[in-house]
């Protein structure tokens, strides 16, 4: 492998220049690439008339508003984003339920490098009447809980390293790593399906941690789709 390609591989797990930190700096999401603009979507909607515009005018903004507000979403599929996401495994699991995205993820079958585990900045209490909900509570001892979680993370990583040292293969040893393990994946999605994701995940019903990522996505794409952001009231 050349020095240049080795360097590229090493940097796959660090945030790209345009990123937003989340989870108290332990996680991040970066915008790696994008294709198409709001003008592309408007042109796609009008393709049947054979007219293409270079820049949006007031009527185009109205058309975009009509498209977004009336679920005429296929023109939005011509705008595509690729993100790099660094998050705990339990957030990765929720994210990957969104089948309309394309994903590629770091594999613990191939690497034992850069193992990091998440420790929540604040632990929340379980809601009594809603299994999906949690809330911040004064009765929880934050320092003790953070200490216990850190200790358990360390124990699990220690056992993983011990198994590797004993010659156990990575693909089996990884089974002892916790749900708090940080992972990195690339995720590509079009604007139609991204709006659906943001509606579900920047929501009071979603887990607080994934909602942070959803809000970070809004920050990253706002300069690229400013009219959509206004229509969606971000």
Ligand X SMILES: Cc1cc2nc3c(=O)[nH]c(=O)nc-3n(C[C@H](O)[C@H](O)[C@H](O)COP(=O)(O)OP(=O)(O)OC[C@H]3O[C@@H](n4cnc5c(N)ncnc54)[C@H](O)[C@@H]3O)c2cc1C
For the question of residue 201 being annotated catalytic, the response is yes
Binding mask 94-123 for ligand X (x = CB under 6 A): ---xxxx-----------------------
Q: Name the phi and psi angles at 19, rounded to 5.
A: -140, 165
DSSP string, 27-95: EEEEEEEEE--HHHHHHHHTGGGT---SS--HHHHHHHHHHHHTT--GGGGG-EEEEEEEEEHHHHHHH
Please identify which of the residues 124, 170, 201, 230 carries the catalytic annotation: 201
In whole angstroms, the minimum distance from the beta carbon of 203 to ligand X comes to 7
In eight-state DSSP terms, residue 98 is -
In whole angstroms, the minimum distance from the beta carbon of 105 to ligand X comes to 17
**Which one of the spans 26-34, 80-88, 92-100, 111-119 is the region binding ligand X (CB under 6 A)?**
92-100
Q: Examine residue 196 and tell whether it contacts ligand X (CB under 6 A).
A: yes
Q: Considering beta carbons, is residue 7 or 205 the nearer one to ligand X?
A: 205
Strand pairing of 182-190 and 102-105?
A: antiparallel
Q: Considering beta carbons, is residue 22 or 173 the nearer one to ligand X?
A: 22
Q: Examine residue 206 and tell whether it contacts ligand X (CB under 6 A).
A: yes
H or E element, residue 139:
none
Give the footprint of ligand X on residues 143-182 (CB under 6 A).
Answer: none
- Residue 85's DSSP bridge partners are 29, 185
User: Cα separation of 203 and 191, whole Å?
Assistant: 18
**Active site residue ranges:** 201
- Which chain residues interact with ligand X by CB under 6 A? 97-100, 132, 193, 196, 200, 205-206
């Amino acid at each position: 492998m050349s020095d240049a390609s080795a360097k590229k591989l090493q940097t796959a797990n660090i945030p790209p220049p345009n990123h937003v930190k989340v989870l108290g700096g332990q996680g991040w999401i970066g915008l790696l690439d994008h294709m198409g603009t709001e003008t592309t979507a408007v042109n796609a909607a009008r393709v049947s008339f054979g007219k293409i515009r270079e820049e949006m005018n007031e009527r185009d903004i109205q058309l975009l508003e009509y498209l977004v507000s009336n679920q005429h979403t296929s023109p939005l599929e011509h705008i595509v984003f690729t993100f790099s996401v660094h998050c705990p495994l339990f957030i990765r699991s929720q994210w990957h339920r969104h089948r309309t995205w394309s994903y590629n993820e770091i594999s613990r079958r191939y690497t034992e490098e850069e193992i990091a585990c998440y420790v929540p900045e604040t632990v929340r209490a379980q809601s009594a009447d809603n299994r999906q909900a949690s809330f911040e509570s004064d009765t929880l001892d934050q320092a003790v809980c953070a200490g216990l979680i850190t200790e358990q993370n360390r124990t699990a990583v220690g056992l993983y390293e011990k198994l590797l040292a004993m010659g156990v293969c990575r693909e089996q040893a990884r089974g002892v790593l916790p749900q708090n393990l940080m992972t990195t994946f690339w995720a590509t999605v079009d604007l139609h399906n991204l709006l659906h994701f943001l509606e579900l995940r920047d929501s009071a019903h979603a887990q607080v941690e994934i909602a942070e990522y959803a809000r970070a996505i809004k920050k990253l794409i706002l300069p690229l789709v400013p009219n959509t952001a206004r229509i969606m009231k971000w």
